[in-house]
Structure 1
């Protein structure tokens, strides 16, 4: 037997994964064994995420205990009073999540670190909220969010309430590596509680999140909430109880929840893929909306940090809004309602640039970050001032944060805010579609799309190839500015150059004449190129939305087709 495998079997505290590994050995399944032991799950700014199973390249109790040991050691080494400030821990409804959370608690308390552990499943934003609410050194959420059922994850928040960023990720990873070669002390939950190192977060804690959201000034627009009907699904996740409660608190009396998807179920039996962005995932909530003639069909993903919505059209059918459309509506609505000094809004570089145009028109301050919500919130904290307090940020992948009560994406408060903006429009005799059209008529019709191109794994990095032979036009449109995030340079067609003040990343952005934009970045996990496209179609006074959309769609198809041909 391989010495790594033998050592793993000796350390693994879980009979289930030990048996799984022994069966692989008995079957002489060399390919599977090689995959399990070819390295280990990499800890990064997103924490850990992977398939549950035996071995260092899987999610299991031993990997969790080693990871928690590394996190604890890093906290004790770098954060003053980390032990007494403690760590909040919560978990989602997947089969192993509670066990992984309890293992994390046992490891941290054995290091003398106080732990605040939720008594039951908790939405990710409810756990992230606890960092600032309880003034802890960090938080851990055991969740794989909207990944398939076989996955689980370990997400870490820092003492500022946001997800970790460098150098925290590398520092924790270094301590995890050390932990893999040492014994892993643990303290039972009972002993931890007796020593005063474990505090159970019971209903009072969940109510604190509820009360904080209800008192958030950005969620107090109670304009005839009883006049609209809202269909909702938790998508077999942990959001239903809090989502329904917050909507009811806000005065929405017609909430219709999808019963078949309301309770936490890590097997996700009614959806192929528990991600609201995936085809078919919203089918049941749209059916529920049709049944009750609801204006909105809303969804949270399984850990309730993302928000998705389909809106009823004039013909009675429901159309899913893109993440950029929701972000645009939020930006306009919140900037129109917030205090004058609460005007800092941002999104990621692959999200629509329309938010920046809206911010400029309304006298707000706008910022952009690399992809990932960790950047949106950490940068917001660094940029806000007394006269420019943070208001709102979003990423096109259905992540939104409304205000600073939670320094991460929060699908629960986003749900309430979107229902409130819809109710306000309804009271004026207007719809979401009317509001979008009004914004487009003022700023132009912005359409965004994403495509991926498979790459030859043996070829030179595509970004370097593109840099070596710079393009001057794409789809017949001159490039007026190229942003190269690997070189941290913004280069204009007239020869002028500016520095980009963002972390280095292998991303190229081409701004084209007329407002169109092309973004290319290699995938970090597989041999493919991710391409993001944006076209801006001016809307004339005599234009109908249908005609403008047709023109924009034609322009988008032409841009995608010609760009992809040029780089294959």
Structure 2
């Protein structure tokens, strides 16, 4: 390891991380050094993400340079016109993001690849939009999204505007490995500009994204927007300017931003964890909503690709909507407002099945994919036809895309769409809660919960033991069929087998005789098993939503308790 560390110090262009490493050496911090050099940050379909610091297992300038060099080599080898088409690069508000983005540009332009670089922080969906707008060969966003302050990341889009999927992830990773053994070539950005290789994207590009959203027919429902009010937070991220502008463009005059969280600040001083799903993260925007009696309390995550919302209840309190509830509301709204032929909607295997039922009721087309927005958009491109154009997709982790202007999740357009949905309901004397209840009464109340089970490091895969001894019942309910995505098969209780057209993945989905569903999959990043539960509670005309909810929650509690006990027995 000493040789590796010495070589690293010799290659590292950053005096700050060289000093950091030297201090660890001088203090004989063997465990810390071993962790930093135990391997290299793995480049996958999400690109890179890790803690900022010195070493091959951290995010730093050298890792970024090697990664950008590998990406450039792969593009030149696989895309004939990659150098001319170029790469668009954007970055979030974390302390190192701008520097990392500039390092990426230096490494790519040194290879003769044209670069379009945002002049300042940019929402992630705006960069995804830019890939298609400029018809670049790829895109890069330096962001760690909603991860803690000590993290940063390197996210890659392919030329179709969607996040990369196999084989591009492994192909780029191979070239990065080669780059680690080669001398890094960089081009000064001023020289790159003089040579016609670097183009700075100023306010006109930001305005182009803004005007594209404004012109979207799916976001042109201007039914008395001034009739509702909403509080908003960018959660110390990059979304505020664009979110406020888009809402104003759409006619929303009562918008109240949380001032303390409005400007980009990668330290995230007012939240323990800058993820809208985390307890407490929405406290300040809900307090702002209460102050003004607002209809909604809305948030984007720090790179503005996700959207979260709490809505005022009859009692005047604010209740968070789950990602599935927002997804179903948006899906139902868009399916009933879209032009004929724009009727393809999708969700992931762990999202609620309710969107499928809504789509079926209006004779729309529905597809499902593995988890991750990279699958939702890449599959949508394959599935859509002239007669069935893409409309909407979502994942339960607060990711939504409205239309095909952005082939990734976009928390900004989702914010506008949800505000317009709410305004239209208000004109008719309804709330989002009323609309949810109406959907539940038609299709059943779908309740979805995710629970994880911590595993001992090195534990044998639970999936393998479940396949070796398949359960026949879960919590007293008979299993009707099982989707085994590792085998790409649906297995029925009578022995019938059907193929599944999804990439192989270590996931088991059990469909039970009362329409409940259990999904079991291992985490890809830590020793735990993720379980996703769905129960469906029918509602009669006499039923109140409260009673149906109580029954569903009781059923869910029993299902989770008995299933998790069976896994750990």
TM-score > 0.5 by shorter chain: yes
Aligned twin of 1:48: 48
Displacement of 1:124 after TM fit?
A: 0.1
Displacement of 1:404 after TM fit?
A: 0.2
Give the 3-state SS of the residue equivalent to 1:146 in structure 2: coil
Aligned twin of 1:498: 498
Q: Cα distance 1:85–1:457, how it changes in 2: closer, same or farther (>3 A)?
A: same
Aligned twin of 1:87: 87
Displacement of 1:434 after TM fit?
A: 0.4
Aligned twin of 2:20: 20
Displacement of 1:279 after TM fit?
A: 0.1
Supply the distance in 2 between the matched residues of 1:76 and 1:430 (Cα, whole angstroms).
55
Supply the distance in 1 between the matched residues of 2:230 and 2:188 (Cα, whole angstroms).
44
Q: How does 1:13-412 map to 2 (within 5 A)?
A: 13-412=13-412
Give the 3-state SS of the residue equivalent to 1:165 in structure 2: coil
Q: TM-score scaled to structure 1, two decimals?
A: 1.00
Displacement of 1:36 after TM fit?
A: 0.5
Matched, 1:441 2:441: yes
Displacement of 1:349 after TM fit?
A: 0.1
Displacement of 1:527 after TM fit?
A: 1.6
Displacement of 1:495 after TM fit?
A: 2.1
Q: Any unmatched runs of 5+ in structure 1?
A: none
Q: How does 1:410-449 map to 2 (within 5 A)?
A: 410-449=410-449
Supply the distance in 1 between the matched residues of 2:122 and 2:498 (Cα, whole angstroms).
45
Displacement of 1:460 after TM fit?
A: 2.1
Q: Deviations over 1:422-468 (max 9, x none)?
A: 00000000000000000000000000001011223343210000001
Displacement of 1:251 after TM fit?
A: 0.1
Q: Deviations over 1:355-406 (max 9, x none)?
A: 1010010100000000000000000000000001000000000000000000
Q: Any unmatched runs of 5+ in structure 2?
A: none
Give the 3-state SS of the residue equivalent to 2:377 in structure 1: helix
Supply the distance in 1 between the matched residues of 2:215 and 2:311 (Cα, whole angstroms).
27
Supply the distance in 2 between the matched residues of 1:199 and 1:555 (Cα, whole angstroms).
57
Supply the distance in 1 between the matched residues of 2:403 and 2:394 (Cα, whole angstroms).
11
Supply the distance in 1 between the matched residues of 2:354 and 2:481 (Cα, whole angstroms).
18
Supply the distance in 1 between the matched residues of 2:190 and 2:492 (Cα, whole angstroms).
64
Supply the distance in 1 between the matched residues of 2:75 and 2:184 (Cα, whole angstroms).
16
Displacement of 1:340 after TM fit?
A: 1.5
Displacement of 1:327 after TM fit?
A: 0.3
Supply the distance in 1 between the matched residues of 2:428 and 2:251 (Cα, whole angstroms).
18
Displacement of 1:165 after TM fit?
A: 0.2
Supply the distance in 1 between the matched residues of 2:464 and 2:294 (Cα, whole angstroms).
50
Q: Deviations over 1:254-305 (max 9, x none)?
A: 0000000000000000000000000000000000000000000000000000
Give the 3-state SS of the residue equivalent to 1:337 in structure 2: coil
Supply the distance in 2 between the matched residues of 1:203 and 1:441 (Cα, whole angstroms).
47
Q: Which moved more, 1:454-463 or 1:250-259?
A: 454-463
Give the 3-state SS of the residue equivalent to 2:524 in structure 1: coil
Aligned twin of 1:529: 529
Supply the distance in 1 between the matched residues of 2:158 and 2:55 (Cα, whole angstroms).
28
**Number of matched residues?**
568
Give the 3-state SS of the residue equivalent to 2:336 in structure 1: helix
Displacement of 1:311 after TM fit?
A: 0.3
Aligned Cα root-mean-square deviation (Å): 0.6
Supply the distance in 2 between the matched residues of 1:541 and 1:472 (Cα, whole angstroms).
34
Supply the distance in 1 between the matched residues of 2:455 and 2:57 (Cα, whole angstroms).
25
Supply the distance in 2 between the matched residues of 1:71 and 1:63 (Cα, whole angstroms).
12
Q: Which ranges of 4 or more aligned residues in structure 1 deviate by more than 6 Å?
A: none
Supply the distance in 2 between the matched residues of 1:69 and 1:39 (Cα, whole angstroms).
19
Q: Deviations over 1:12-39 (max 9, x none)?
A: 0001000000000000100000000111
Supply the distance in 2 between the matched residues of 1:32 and 1:42 (Cα, whole angstroms).
19
Supply the distance in 2 between the matched residues of 1:231 and 1:526 (Cα, whole angstroms).
36
Q: Deviations over 1:39-71 (max 9, x none)?
A: 100000000000000000000000000000000
Supply the distance in 2 between the matched residues of 1:260 and 1:88 (Cα, whole angstroms).
31
